[in-house]
Amino acid sequence: MKERILVIGNGMAGIRCVEEIVKLEPNAYDITVIGKERTPAYDRIQLSTVLQGNGTVDELLIKPLDWYDEQKVTLRTDEAVTEIDKDQRLVYTNKGGALPYDRLIIATGSNPFIIPFPGIDKKGVITFRDIDDCNAMIESAKTKRKAVVIGGGLLGLEAARGLLNLNMEVSVVHNTDALMDRQLDATASKMLKDELEQQGMTFLMEKETTHVTGDEHVSGLAFKDGEEIEADLVVMAVGIKPNIALASETGLETNRGIVVDDFMKTSHPGIYAVGECAEHRGIAYGLVAPLYEQAAVLAKSISGDESGPYEGSVVFTKLKVSGVDVFSAGLFQEEEGVKAIRIHDESEGIYKKIMIADQKIVGTVMFGDTSDSSRILSYMRSEMNVEKMKKVALLEPEEDGGDDLVASMPESEIVCGCNGVTKGCITKAIQDQGLRTVGEIKGCTNASRSCGGCQPLVSQILEHTLGDVFDASDQQEPICGCTSLSRNEIVEAIREKGIQTTKEVYHVLDFENKEGCSKCRPSLNYYLGMLFPEEYEDEAASRFVNERMHANIQNDGTFSVVPRMYGGVTTSDQLRKIAEVSDKYEIKMLKVTGGQRIDMLGAKKDDLPSIWADLDMPSGYAYGKALRTVKTCVGEQFCRFGTQDSIGLGVRLEKKFERLQTPHKVKMAVSACPRSCAESGFKDVGIIGVDGAWELYVGGNGGINVQGGHLLATVTTDEEVMKTTGAYLQYYRETANYLERTSAWVERVGIDHVKEVLSDEEEKNNLNNRIDIALRATRDPWKEALEDRTVRQQFETILQP
C-alpha cells in the first residue's frame, strides 16, 4: 500500500505542497486534501483583482478539477477537520469521516484579525478573506452607498479600491498617521495617500474605533475622539492571525503560529505545518512567496532529502491597486548601521529608496515606478556586494546598453511578466535545446507570447547567450513552425506560381501541417488577398474569430460592436439609434473609445446580425487588421487656433480608406495645428496642419513600444495628402509581414527608404492604382452578413429543446 498523506487546508499552501510532492515523486503517495471552503484551492491574492472587477472567480482556481483526477489526489471540499488523534494517526471531520494517515500536513492558513469592539456582530460588518466576503461586497454595493474600511494596510487599501470600482463612497479608517506604515516610510506613504485621494478615497487617520453604531444593521462607526462616521458597510481589514486552534488542541507546540523546524516538521513526528499557520524561527509569514519555498522544502523532506533546510524568506509587498505602483521589501527605515540611497523625482511622481548595510542591500521602497523591483530584490536575496556599483545617476542621456544589461541580469529575474518566465529559464532552454530564434524561445518557454513587450529583451538574451554563434540572418525567421520558409519567400512563390488558396500554398510549398496553424493561415489569407484583390476568395475559416464575427471577442465570450463614425463626428440621430439598440439588446456597457467612437460592449453572438440591421451604420472595423479610425480635432470650423479643416480631411481619408485590409491595424489622426489635439504624433498615419501646409507623420505607435511618428512629407493640398497616404499604405501592405505594425515596419525598412520609394512619381501613381483596385473589391461586412443566409448561420447557437 502507498503511504498516505493527508493535507488539512485546501488553500494556496496546501495545494502547493501537493504540487511539489507529485512533481518530485509522481504517484508515490495516496494523497487526500480536505478543506472547509466549497471551492477547490484558488489564488487568494487575486481576490482583490476580482473585487476590482478585473476577473472572475472561475479564473482564480489554481488547478482545474481534472488535475486532481490526473494526479489521483482526492479532494474533499466543504468539510472541516474537528479532531486529530495523533497517536492513532487519524483525523475526524464534521461529516463523520475518520481518515487514517501516515503523514499529516497542516495548512490551515490564517483568519482575519477581528478587533472585538462592541457592535462588531451587526449585519453589514464583514472581513476580506475569502470568496464569500468578496461576493458580500459585490452584493452590498448594489443597494448600499457608503463603505468604510477599517485598516489602511495592504489588504484594506485593496478592498477600498475594489469598493470604489463598485461605485461606493469609500472611507478608510487607520489607527496611525501613515498608510501601509509597516511597509513604507513617511515619504512613500504620503505619496500613496495623495494618489489614492486623487482616485476618490477619503482617509480618517489616527482614528481609533470604539464601537459600531446601528440597530440590527450597521449605521456607522464611533471613534475615541468622539467623532462618528456613517456607514452602510464596514469592512474590517486590520490583519490576519495564524489559524492554530486545531494544532494547539492536538497538543502540538504553538506560539503565534504552529512551531516548525527547518524542514517544516512540528513538534510531533509525522506532522508538518506550512504556510500562514506555521511559525518558523519566530516568524509567521502572511505573504505568498514564503509558502512556495516552504512547500518545496517540505516535499523534499517527505521524500527523505534533508539537504536543503528552509532558512526563512526575504519577503516583499506589492500593492495591487491599478494606477499605483508600490513595492517594499526588507528594512525601510534608517537605523544604526543602515544607510539609505534616495531618488525622489517630483516631476514624475517617482520615489525610490534602497537601504544598505555592509555594502549589501537590506531593504527597498519604491513608489511610482517599480520596474527595478525584481532586480533589486534578487540582489538583496543573493546578498550581492554593491560597493562598486554606480549608486545614483542624474539626467544621463539615453543609451542602449543592451548587452551589459543582459549580462548583469540575475538568472532569477523575471523577463516575461505575463507568463512568469525568468532569464535563467530562457538561457537554459537556449542551451539545452539548441534554440536559435526568438520564435523558438516563444514556443518552448512561453516568453513574450502574450503582450510581446519583452521580445526585444528576449532577443538580447538570445544574442548574449549564443555569443558568436548568433546569426542575424537566422532571424529572417520562418513565418511559423509549419515551414522553414520566410515571409518573402512565400509571397514570392505565391506571386510567381499564381497560387489561389491557402490549401494550395500548403501543398505546393510543402508545409509540414497541411492546414497550417493559427499563425500562418491568417497570414497566408492576407498575402493572397493582398496579391490578388479581385480574384482571391477570402477564407473565413482562415481568419481570427474577430474578423469572422466582425466584432471583438471579450473575455467572457461576448462581443463588442463599434459602428463607424467618420472623423469622430456623429449626429443626434445616430446617438438615438445607438441608445435604442443598446437598450433592446441589453448592451452591458457603452464606452467612448480612444478613437472617437462608441463601443457597445457585451453583445451576444446570436444578436450580432440583428444589432447591425437595427443600427444600419457601416462597420467600424474595430476588430480588424484594417483601417480602424481617423481621429480628428475640431479644426478651423470651430477652434480659435485651428488654421485647417482637420475634420473635413479626416472624414475624407476615412471614407476613402475604410475597409482596407492591412498587415496589422492602422490608426490615423488629423490635427489642425501643432498642438495636435488628435494626438497625430504617434499614429500609423498622423497629419498635422501647419501654416499653409500639412505635415505627414508615419510609423508612430502609442502601444506596447511607444514610438513617435517620423516626418514623411510636408504637402500643401488635401489632394497630395490623399495621394501620399495612399502610396504609403499600399507600400506597407505589399512589403510588411503580417501582424507587423507600421512602426515596426518603418523601423525595419528605414524611413529614408520609404521616402525614396515615394519620391518616384510614377511609383507613387502605381501604388495608388493598386490600392484603388483593392479598395474597390471591398464591401461592408455587416451588410454582407445580413444579405447572406450562410454567413448569418455562423452566429447561431444551437439550443437544447
Partner 1 sequence: MPVQASKVNTSKVNIGRIEDFPQQSGKTVEVLKWSIAVFHLSNGSMQAVENKCPHKGGPLAEGIICGDHVYCPLHDWKISTKDGKVQEPDTGCVQTFPVDVEDGYVYLTIE
408's CB contacts (< 8 A; 6+ apart) are none
Q: How far is the CB of 448 from partner 1 (least distance, A)?
A: 13
One residue of 347, 473, 571, 797 binding partner 1 per CB under 8 A:
797
**Binding of partner 1 by 420 (CB under 8 A):** no
Q: In terms of DSSP bridges, do strands 350-357 and 360-367 run parallel, antiparallel, or are they unpaired?
A: antiparallel
Residues in the chain: 801
One residue of 239, 439, 443, 478 binding partner 1 per CB under 8 A:
443
| Cross-strand bridge partners of residue 421 | 416
* Grid cell at residue 267: 513538534
Site for partner 1 in 15-44 (CB under 8 A): none
**Which of the stretches 250-258, 440-448, 594-602, 744-752 binds partner 1 when contact is defined by CB under 8 A?**
440-448
Residue closer to partner 1 by CB (options 27, 714) is 27
Residue closer to partner 1 by CB (options 194, 606) is 606
Site for partner 1 in 343-402 (CB under 8 A): none
d(CA 446, CA 363): 31
Contact characters 736-775, partner 1, x per CB under 8 A: ----------------------------------------
Site for partner 1 in 50-79 (CB under 8 A): 58-59, 64, 66-67
**Which of the stretches 179-187, 368-376, 755-763, 789-797 binds partner 1 when contact is defined by CB under 8 A?**
789-797
**Binding of partner 1 by 800 (CB under 8 A):** yes
One residue of 80, 90, 386, 444 binding partner 1 per CB under 8 A:
444
30's CB contacts (< 8 A; 6+ apart) are 1, 2, 3, 4, 5, 72
Site for partner 1 in 519-548 (CB under 8 A): 521-522, 540-545, 548
Contact characters 479-518, partner 1, x per CB under 8 A: ----------------------------------xxxxxx
276's CB contacts (< 8 A; 6+ apart) are 13, 109, 110, 240, 242, 243, 257, 284, 285, 286, 291
Q: How far is the CB of 666 from partner 1 (least distance, A)?
A: 22
Taking CA 371 as the corner, what is the angle to CA 365 and CA 376, rounded to the nearest 5 degrees?
55
**Binding of partner 1 by 89 (CB under 8 A):** no
The string of DSSP letters for 558-590 reads: -EEE-B--GGG---HHHHHHHHHHHHHTT-SEE
Q: How far is the CB of 548 from partner 1 (least distance, A)?
A: 8
At 374, the amino acid letter reads S
Q: How far is the CB of 29 from partner 1 (least distance, A)?
A: 21
**Binding of partner 1 by 452 (CB under 8 A):** no
Closest Cα to residue 172, out of 213, 138, 200, 144? 200
What 748-757 contacts at long range (C-beta under 8 Å, 24+ apart), as own/partner pairs, is 751/698, 751/699, 751/710, 751/712, 754/698, 754/712, 754/728, 755/712, 755/713, 757/731
Q: How far is the CB of 302 from partner 1 (least distance, A)?
A: 24
Contact characters 99-138, partner 1, x per CB under 8 A: ----------------------------------------
The string of DSSP letters for 400-458 reads: --HHHHHHHS-TTSEEETTTTEEHHHHHHHHHHHT--SHHHHHHHH-TTSSS-TTHHHH
Residue closer to partner 1 by CB (options 601, 757) is 601
**Binding of partner 1 by 799 (CB under 8 A):** yes
d(CA 53, CA 55): 6
Tell me how many residues contact partner 1 (CB under 8 A).
42
d(CA 797, CA 535): 32
* Residues engaged in binding partner 1 (CB under 8 A): 58-59, 64, 66-67, 443-446, 449-450, 513-518, 521-522, 540-545, 548-549, 553, 555-557, 605-606, 790, 793-794, 796-801
